[in-house]
Homo-oligomer: A and B are copies of this chain.
Amino acid sequence: MIDSFQKILVIAAHPDDEVLGVGGTIPLLAQAGKTVDVLIFTDGSSTQYAGDDKILEHKFKEAELAMKTMGANLLPRMTFPDMRLDTVAHVDKNSALGEIIQKGQYDTVFVQDHTDVNRDHKEIYDSAVVACRPVPGQCVRYLLSYYVNSSTEWGNILGGQWFSPNVFVDISETLEIKLKAMEAYQTELRDHPHPRSLEGLRTAAAYFGNTVGYQYAEPFRLIFAR
Contacts and interface: CB of A to CB of B under 8 A. Distances in A.
A177 to B, nearest CB: 20
Interface residues of A, number: 67
Nearest to A152: B211
Contacts of A60: none
A100 interface: no
Interface string A37-58: 0000000000100000000000
Nearest to A132: B158
A91 to B, nearest CB: 5
Interface in A59-102: 83-84, 86-87, 89-91
B194 A224 contact: no
Interface of A: 1, 3-4, 47, 83-84, 86-87, 89-91, 114, 117, 119, 126, 129-130, 132-138, 142-143, 150, 153-154, 156-162, 164-168, 170, 190-195, 197, 200, 203-204, 206-207, 209-215, 217, 222-226
